[in-house]
Structure 1
Amino acid sequence: MAFGTTKNVSDRNSTRLSSRLLPSTSLLALAISSAISGVHAQEIQTPDRDITDIEKIVVIGEKANRSLKDSTTSISVLTEEAINNTQYKSVSDAISDIANVVVPSGSLPDIRGVSGNGAAGGFNSISGGANGRVMTLIDGVSQPFVADLSGDSGMWDLQQIEVYRGPQSTSNGRNSIGGAVYIKTNDPSQEWEGAARIGYRNNDQYIDTAGVISGPLIEDKLVFRLSVQNLNADTITDGEGYESNSPDYDIDKIETQRVRGKLLWTPNDDLSFTLSHTYNNEEGDTGRVYYALENLEEYNRIYFRDISTTASTTALNTQYSISDNMSFDLLVSYMDYEWGFDTYEASDDAEQTLVFDETNVTVDAKINFALPNNNIDGFVGLYYFEREQDILSTGAYPYYGSDESESIAIYGETTFALSDKLNIIAGVRVERESQSRHFVYEPIDSNLDDDTNIFLPKFVVQYAFTPQTTLAFSARKGYNAGGGALNFTAQEYYYYEEEKVNTFELSSRTQFENGTGFISANIFYNDYDGFQALSSTRFITNMPSVATYGAELEVHANVTDSIEVNAGMGLLHSDIKDAGEDYTDAQGNELNSAPSFNANVGAKYWVTDAISVGGSVRYIGEYFGDFTNTAERVAGDYTIARFTANYTSDNWLLTAYLDNAFDETALVSQEPDSARYPGGYAAVVDPRTVGVSATYRF
């Protein structure tokens, strides 16, 4: 058995959480299962095509390396096949189709109605150094988030993307109370292989060139992989500017360069070292992009910023098999991260330059074990993280600051196999976080010193209802640290408390008998204490009690030897049960970015063995843009369609696609008229785009 891997038990919803949610989710799951199983009885044969197999997809982000079938967490996985062309411009674009996920402009994903940015959005992350609620990891290394999400454009040579809904604090600790996005890149290969790709999108004159080469340097001992990618694009609003002030940079250009190298050394069968170095650089008007509400279809930007995001990461991953029943993993990483921007305004005097530097070190050591009787297995780990930040803003908004933060944790998880059908999983994380931050915006001179001890338990019961279907109940706790921020309106520095959540889930996984499809379902209830709410004026307050509950359902199936279908659905209800004394008008309201319903459906049809066509449609229901539920900030209620055609011949893959096929002007967020932005502004889905790509593999 694989070390630290739970035994083969899956999950499916049985117990009732909410009379409104369970019937719609479970009955639909049963109906789909029954309909598809009749087709599957015909012993579908698809020898030349990859089939999504829930038992073969191994999810890594929980640190247990268990199959998707054996995971009780609500997880969506995008495989390499789904992301191997240029249809998705960024990771944010790729995950926007996932149930109960909303991706605002320039922000971490909002999952299950909980803002991914949390207290860390915009200027609050600069003045207070807060963590986001959704952690992004690449090959196990946590990625910084500062003010705006940038630097995630370009997807090349990725193995898979995993999206975790709900708190992942037991596994990952800091800034994962809302969920996590885990990106796994491809490892070096023992055989020589390579690929080259070129892609083009019409709307933003987007050109993508990428290449990868991998193979042995010393046979069976030392292998390498080197991948490179270059993106060159324009914004969708070329030629804008101010007559009163000419820009000193190209306000329409967006460029990204990515280089990743890996060396895998295996001196013997029991020991391996993977040394990797990654360099990413993105520059242009990225992050949050807003357009004037008046004549929205003209995409007139309300402000201009040249954002630069540069990250250089070196990591060493050591794996050692101590015995047949024990192994050791060690990840050590160092990151040098720089984020900043230059604004472009109608007057030179109003322009600002910001430079934000961060260096961080991560050490994650884990022992995986399995007792000889195979009834108990698990892992225990030690985690250390430290970061240093320096901030300097000049021009119209002069300020500066520094930060030192540290996290130390011990964590673990154990699976007890009480029988062939019943598993009990218990996990815990004990963590100590400390932060010391100095921030100066004259005349305000503020200091933030905080030390916190955290206890984060997890408990799961899994039962194999049939060989194909498993059910589970899980309970776990999530946490996000408190902090401080500058209140511009009051011109004072203030502090807010930590937030906690208790999450309860029922889950189900069903694998079809012949392995050509699966159904995954989760029903959840989140009970938040001290929920960190962000007002429309960007003031952070702790709400004593907030609850969210809902469900996710996903289906993947090969219904015939030439047709593959997938569908997903999210149901969500949020309730501000106690808003606190400062926001009594929010009592009983919904959270922002919390649509009650969203869904997606897609299909792929192989016309011949070489030609396939596909399409997908996603619907995002209406949602509020703030917790006071003002009508002027309502967004959502849109449907986006994509279409794709592929031609495969020998080593070639040719792809053509159409995004936002019906050119819907879809509101992701909007702000009403204000003194600074008369007429208001909005973030929208990109307009209709046609693209092509060609990939050659050898």
Structure 2
Amino acid sequence: MVASFKPNKLSLLITSSLLLAQSNAFADETSRESIDTIIVTGEKIERSLKDTITSVAVVDKSLLENGQLGSVSEALAEMANVVVLTGAVPDMRGVSGNGGATGFNSFSGGSKARVSTLVDGVSQPFVADLTGDTGLWDIDQIAVYRGPQSTSNGRNSIGGAVYMTTKAPTQDFEGAVRVGYRNQDSYLDTAAVVSGALIEDVLAFRLSTQYVNGETFSNPTIHETNPTDKNLNQLNTSSTRAKLLYIPTTDLAVQLTYSTYSEEGNTGRKYFEGDEPFDYVPLFQRDMDTKSDTTQVNIDYKINDNFSFDILLAYMDYDWGFEAYEALASAESDISMDEKNITIDSKLNFGLNSDFYSGFVGIAYFDREQDFKSVGATNYFGDDSSDSKAIYGETSFELTNELTLTAGLRVEREEQLRNFDMAFGGSRLVEQLDNSNTIKLPTVAVQYKVTDNTTLSASARRGYNAGGGALDFAAQEYYYYEQESVNTYEVGSRSVLNNGDLNISANIFYNNFNGYQALSSSRKITNIDDAHSYGLELEAYSMLDEQWQLHAGLGLLKTKIDESATYSDAVGNELNSAPELTASLGLSHWFTDSLKLNVSANYVDDYYGDLTNTEERVAGGYTITRATISYNSDHWLVSAFINNALDEEAFTSVEPASGRYPTGYVAVVNPQTLGASVTYRF
């Protein structure tokens, strides 16, 4: 049933203690809490992890606080059935998170990623290369929803969604400052936050800021034929977020948020020359620049005991681009993408006081305007106007004390008009993509409460991603590809045993893909008629006694391409980035209430890097270990950590030698890093 409205709902949404239900450690003070106390909000409604039907993993709060994780990608890399590739949104259950949106296709056709990232309910843009995910200060929760989330989020979520929630203003005055360091040249992480009431119980604020300056592990090359004074290995990130929460009555809460983010330097895809990959000599060098400014308003209003209303309004100004560095200045290109978008999401919640039914119905609108260009060795420009309109809803019926039926539907209209103009082959290529479609995205689920401690579920839902267009360099022509969809079926189990000291979550899934958008061996996007995948996600933790905690995760996955008229070489093969086994195991020990040691290991099995299952492109097969020791008191959090403790050297992607790349190239797991951070709270 939908949770009742509270006067400070916006803050209560994200103040529940968190755990990583899959791997790593638990926050000191919340280690003994069970999954029925952990609230996630990524499906338009507050649910405890015990009541979720979707396979959800939540990042441990202590890892967000101690500085051990430097980016969102690092936070997701150890989750079951998730593979994080360089410069890419995460691949989930063998579904490429980037989809057709990788590299140049993002410009020529405006292709969309398959996995959406939302911060406080606002979708974050993805352009060609993943940037802008560095820095996790003042983040309260990162929840990963595996499998299609199209009914909840619509576009860009056929593979899953990453839902991030930032901390809210508090009525009590509080603050913190942090200084962190890693054994990377010049690396320094400084952050601060302050929060409290301006007018008691009526007006509260929160102001946070973070600045990360340092060098990456690349070993850049300075060309004598084109000298530069830029530090090609530098990465600078700064972010500031301000929130104002106004509660004029017990029935109304209004929150205004402004956030600004800037990231510049050596980020995005990092490929290294294949002859000596662990010399970390980059294949290409770019100074990338990402900036975003977001203004957001959240309104929550309690109409009466049975109904409440909430609305999200957001405006984002987003700039992305890079300056290439080559041996010859004439071979360089400068690329930029400027985007402005509007998000409106309004929802009526009903049945708040009912023991039989509850749910919501809402409308959503998204509008995006883009302008892009490339000047230098490659010249093109264009613009894009895209929008989506949706009506969505979900209702749950408590048929008996044990049995609950939930049904939902999203009807969405998507439209895209994209103009692309490029100097190509001695002439100009002028193309227009005019695409529109109306889709229906249903979901249905049943939950059965076997006992007070165990709940079983079964569900079916549909996912969707729009079609588009792209430029085929080999054929020197513009082409189009169709939409893709998936029908997903899952059964799940959630158990809280031994007074909350033993928690087990499991999901078994089957995906049937139609029109799967695949990148062929000629790097052309084509639709695969039929493909399927099935597997398991199992996550558990157990308090062994008052001082010891065991935590583990397991992902099993099988994939197969069944039929493809346009890509026959792939029929019978596995999907790429689809390891059959991912697993994690960790142990935490409390020496005292304040002093904790955590060690963990994560294994990712071998996987293919392409749909033709080329042996030379096999990657994976690595184990990454972590260790952390931390002291956490009322005012101080002091942590020392080591990532990749055994200094594993392994590849996350491999491209064999070719005429264009005589040594081939690879992407690698992050090398061993040691670090420490000191946080003072007041």
Write the deviation string for residues 19-40 of structure 1: whole angstroms up to 9, x where unpaired: xxxxxxxxxx9xx9xxxxxxxx
Q: Which residue of 2 aligns with 1:696?
A: 680
Distance 1:94 1:237 in 2: 21
1:375-414 Cα distance to aligned partner (Å, 9 max, x none): 0100000000000000011000000000000100000000
Answering whether residue 642 of structure 2 is matched by residue 678 of structure 1, we say: no
1:643 to 616, 622, 627: 627
Asked whether the 8 Å contact 1:576–1:588 carries over to 2, the reply is yes
Q: 1:648 to 1:430 in 2, by over 3 A?
A: same
Q: Is the 8 A contact 2:246 2:253 kept in 1?
A: yes
Task: Kindly report which structure 2 residues correspond to 1:585-600, keeping only aligned pairs within 5 A, or say none.
Answer: 585-600=569-584
2:490 counterpart letter in structure 1: E
Separation in 1, partners of 2:151, 2:299: 22
| 1:292-331 superposed matches below 5 A | 292-331=273-312
1:162 equivalenced with 2:143 (yes/no): yes
Instruction: Say if 1:418 and 1:311 are closer, same or farther in 2 by CA, change over 3 A.
Output: same
Distance of 1:154 and 1:650 partners within structure 2: 24
How far, CA to CA, are the matches of 2:267 and 2:375 in structure 1? Answer: 20
The 3 A distance-change label for structure 1 pair 204 and 61 is farther
Residues 167-190 of structure 1: per-residue CA shift (max 9 Å, x gap): 000000000000000000000000
Unaligned 5+ segments in structure 1 are 6-28, 33-45
Q: Match for 1:385 among 359, 363, 366?
A: 366
The answer to whether residue 644 in structure 2 is matched with residue 665 in structure 1 is no
2:585 maps to what in 1? 601
Q: What percentage of aligned pairs have identical amino acids?
A: 53
SS at match of 1:323: coil
Tell me whether 1:439 sits opposite 2:420 in the alignment.
Answer: yes
Task: Supply the distance in 1 between the matched residues of 2:119 and 2:249 (Cα, whole angstroms).
Answer: 27
Partner of 1:23: none
Taking structure 1 as the reference length, the TM-score comes to: 0.93
Name structure 2 gaps, 5 residues minimum: 6-20
* CA 188–624 in structure 1, closer or farther in 2 if over 3 Å, else same: same
Question: Is 2:4–2:352's contact at 8 Å kept on the other side of the alignment?
Answer: no
What are the equivalent positions in structure 2 for 1:50-69 lying under 5 Å apart?
50-69=31-50
State the alpha-carbon separation in 2 of the partners of residues 267 and 150 from structure 1.
39
The answer to whether residue 107 in structure 2 is matched with residue 126 in structure 1 is yes
Which sits farther off after the overlay, 528-537 or 238-247?
238-247
Taking the aligned partners of 2:220 and 2:336, their CA distance within structure 1 comes to: 27
Give the whole-Å Cα distance in 1 for the aligned partners of 2:479 and 2:164.
Answer: 36
Amino acid at match of 1:196: V
1:84 corresponds to: 65
Q: Which of 247, 255, 264 is the matching residue for 1:266?
A: 247
Q: In structure 2, give the amino acid aligned to 1:262.
A: K
- What CA distance in whole angstroms lies between the structure 2 residues aligned with 1:413 and 1:204? 51
Match of 2:532 among 523, 547, 554: 547
Tell me, yes or no, if the aligned pair for 1:670 and 1:683 is still in contact at 8 Å.
Answer: yes
Q: Quick check: 1:527–1:547 contact (8 Å CA) kept in 2?
A: yes
Q: What residue identity is the alignment partner of 1:540?
A: I
Asked if the contact 1:52/1:517 (under 8 Å) is kept, the reply is no
SS in 2 for 1:415: strand
The answer to whether the 8 A contact 1:381-1:410 is kept is yes
Q: In the alignment, what sits opposite 1:361?
A: 342
Q: Pick from 605, 613, 631: which aligns with 2:615? A: 631
Distance in 2 of aligned mates of 1:557 and 1:329: 37
Q: In the alignment, residue 232 of structure 2 is paired with which amino acid?
A: I
Which amino acid counterpart does residue 464 of structure 2 have in structure 1? Answer: Y
CA distance in 2 between counterparts of 1:395 and 1:230 reads 32
- Structure 1 residue 373: deviation in Å? 4.1
* Secondary structure of the structure 1 residue equivalent to 2:170: coil
Q: Give the match for residue 173 of structure 1.
A: 154
Using the alignment, how far apart are the partners of 1:145 and 1:339 within structure 2? 9
Residue 45 of structure 2 aligns to a residue whose secondary structure is coil
Match of residue 543 from structure 2: 558
Q: SS of the counterpart of 1:119?
A: helix
Counterpart position of 1:222: 203
Matches within 5 A, 1:558-577: 558-577=543-562
Q: Aligned letter for 1:193?
A: E
Confirm or deny: 8 A CA contact 1:640 1:660 kept in the other structure: yes
Deviations 1:92-141 (A, max 9, x none): 10110100000000000000000000011111011111110000000000
Q: What's the Cα RMSD here?
A: 1.6
Flag the 1:361–1:49 CA change in 2: closer, same or farther, 3 A. closer
CA-CA distance at 1:196 after TM superposition = 0.6
Q: Give yes or no for contact 2:3–2:352 (8 Å, CA) kept in 1.
A: no
Residue 266 of structure 2 is aligned to residue 285 of structure 1: yes
Does the Cα contact within 8 Å between 1:312 and 1:335 map onto a contact in 2?
A: yes
TM-aligned CA distance change 1:205 to 1:566, over 3 Å = farther
The 1:190/1:281 distance shift into structure 2, 3 A limit, reads same
Please give the alpha-carbon distance, in whole angstroms, between the structure 1 residues aligned to 2:135 and 2:353: 45
Deviation at 1:596, TM superposition (A): 0.4
Any conservation in 1 of the 2:174–2:681 contact (CA below 8 Å)? yes
Contact 2:2 2:352 in 1 (8 A): no
TM-score when scaled to structure 2?
0.95
**Is this contact kept in 1: 2:168–2:243, CA < 8 A?**
yes
| Runs of 4+ displaced beyond 3 Å | 1-5, 46-50
Contact 1:4/1:377 (8 A) holds in 2: no
Q: 2:237 aligns with which of 220, 242, 256?
A: 256
